[in-house]
Amino acid sequence: MIGEVPNIRVGQEFDSRRLAHEAGIHRPLQAGICGTKQNGAESIVVSGGYKDDEDHGDVIVYTGHGGQDSSRNQVSDQSLDDPGNAALVTSYLEGLPVRVLRGAHSGSPWAPAEGYRYDGLFRVTNYGSKLGIDGFLIWQFRLETYDGTPLPEPAKQETLPTDDESDDSDSGQVPAGTESPERVTTTVQRIVRNSAVKRQVKAWHDNRCQICELRIEVPGGSYSEGAHIQALGSPHNGPDTTGNVLCLCPNCHVQLDAGAIVISDDLTVIRGGAPDGTLRTHPRHVIDMSCVRQHRERWRQT
Amino acid sequence: MIGEVPNIRVGQEFDSRRLAHEAGIHRPLQAGICGTKQNGAESIVVSGGYKDDEDHGDVIVYTGHGGQDSSRNQVSDQSLDDPGNAALVTSYLEGLPVRVLRGAHSGSPWAPAEGYRYDGLFRVTNYGSKLGIDGFLIWQFRLETYDGTPLPEPAKQETLPTDDESDDSDSGQVPAGTESPERVTTTVQRIVRNSAVKRQVKAWHDNRCQICELRIEVPGGSYSEGAHIQALGSPHNGPDTTGNVLCLCPNCHVQLDAGAIVISDDLTVIRGGAPDGTLRTHPRHVIDMSCVRQHRERWRQT
């Protein structure tokens, strides 16, 4: 269950992990990350269990799972093979939202005074490893709120800069409270819903580009993009169906979208006006040929 | 001058093209598109001059320039060689905002009753050609508002769907008026400002990937991405300087961001753990080696 949980609002408080579990916000009772490599991370708990965590309110630097002993001392290296860490890599690669539950702890001015609080959806914007304070390798994930997610009231004056100005993303953080949470939720849920069609196609092709056969391998996963053959919305009005989506590497995706690649009725790939192989298919992935034709028509004079 | 014009607010009205010209909103007195292939489109005027235009308020399907006689009948094909059309392709490829000035005309419920009105920044989300109503080839550009741009009051009931639900983009349109225009402006201006560093690097390298030497050619232009070596913001805190930006194809960009590519001190590219050529440089593009080292450190265990 990726995305918002019905009837739970941003800012809602829970007295215990069990109550958050029962509400469906964060299902495990112990683990800080809920998710799988396959599906991505549903939710995380930010509760100060790792010394290297940073909490800037709209930006959280979250230390991955693993390598701690029962007293929460870091005693060995973390790994992307850990299922929780792998889930966060998938969330990054797929652009999926992650629910954040903050627990009371002294390390963050954004933590609730007691219990747990659901603070909305965040996205993973980058990750990487470093030597942690305790001298072992840790993995860290930068999570950012979506534009307009309301921030909780900080418990005390926040002294760290929120690095808003240096944010590279197109939807960087801004002062909270100027946008309705309902609207943000609607926008993000649409991202989740639309991504389902693309994820199906990418799964069928195991992230291998249907045009150039490249599968981009990165630490912790592989990467591809779901590309609409005929664009959604006016003036092209392509359908949001698997028949109108291809699994492509980013380079072939750019070329398809901008007409440098078109596809013939026999699935020959025409790149820059010349044949360049054949679109690879999959038994369960039936290409919508009307979309292929409309896309080709759109670029026929080039 | 890409982006907002100081002291001009969204919704501001102008009695004439000359007054809009003097305000700096749309500089040409006749042409509908202001811009160049090199820099992208600063602004367009939507005033019903082309039969194939569509205006859905938050989405505009804008017909390119050219092919009309002095009575505004379409008498020949349009071309991407037209400077205005080429400018809109650049805006698409670079992700740059375009100012929209709507003029009074009967074809759109979103047009002002008289004169001209500045309706804020839009982005070009796709383009393509088709046979227009008059039987000649036209180029069309889909423009969308940024999330939260206030919509004008429609002059009459809008009967066309605004295709909100089918919108594929991560920042698709939503009901207007729930977000402050100042905030949207700030966000978009940050996009413009941050893009300046990347555009400089891409210009030096003429859109050719510094790693794999690919330059993606598409109808009307070429495409590359400005990739920060060390990510901005916590926890990596890379600087937004040309020394921390590479000109890459999208595939190499994904791999750099996710640690599948790192760069050694002698600029050898290490892809998937093995040497894979040398980063191409440019006399004016001095790579910040501290960023290269920090990025490599971030992925040293992979």
Test B168 with A194 for CB contact under 8 angstroms. yes
Of B174, B232, B250, the CB nearest to A186: B174
Residue of B241, B244, B254, B291 for testing the chain A interface, max A β-carbons within 10 Å: B254
Is the model more confident about B278 or about A147?
B278
Q: What is the pLDDT of residue A302?
A: 65
Mean pLDDT of B199-204: 96
Smallest CA–CA distance from A228 into chain B, residue: B168
- Can you tell me the distance from the alpha carbon of A258 to that of B88, in angstroms, rounded to the nearest whole number? 12
Is the model more confident about B73 or about A251?
A251
Q: What is the pLDDT of residue A80?
A: 95
Neighbours of B30 (CB within 10 A): 6
Question: Which tokens in the block code for residue A295?
Answer: 């896309």
Interface predicted TM-score (ipTM) = 0.88
Q: Which residues of A touch B254 (CB under 8 A)?
A: 216, 218, 223, 250
The second-level CATH assignment, the architecture, of B13-155 is Roll (2.30)
Give the pLDDT band (50/70/90) at residue B243.
very high
B184: closest CA of chain A, how far (Å)? 10
Q: CA dist B168 to A293, B65, B300, Å?
A: 20, 27, 36
Q: Which residues of B touch A186 (CB under 8 A)?
A: 174
Options 2.30.280.10, 3.20.20.450, 3.40.50.720, 3.30.70.890; CATH for A13-169+178-194 is 2.30.280.10
Q: What is the pLDDT of residue B173?
A: 42
Q: What is the pLDDT of residue B302?
A: 64
Residue of A92, A190, A237 for testing the chain B interface, max B β-carbons within 10 Å: A190
Of B137, B235, B258, the CB nearest to A54: B235
Is the model more confident about B170 or about A283?
A283
Amino acid letter, residue A235: P
Mean pLDDT of B286-298: 97
Does residue B149 carry a pLDDT above 90?
no
Residue of B124, B166, B173, B230 for testing the chain A interface, max A β-carbons within 10 Å: B166
For chain A of 302 residues, list the mean pLDDT of each consecutive stretch of 10: 91 97 97 95 94 94 94 92 96 95 94 96 95 93 89 67 43 47 76 86 97 96 96 92 98 97 97 96 97 94 68
Is the model more confident about B50 or about B179?
B50
Q: What is the pLDDT of residue B164?
A: 45
Q: What is the pLDDT of residue A164?
A: 45
B238: closest CA of chain A, how far (Å)? 9
Test B142 with A233 for CB contact under 8 angstroms. yes
Q: Which residues of A touch B248 (CB under 8 A)?
A: none
B183: closest CA of chain A, how far (Å)? 8
Percent of chain B surpassing pLDDT 90: 77
- Tell me the domain boundaries of chain B: 13-155, 195-298
Q: What is the pLDDT of residue A179?
A: 58
Q: Which residues of A touch B174 (CB under 8 A)?
A: 183, 186-187
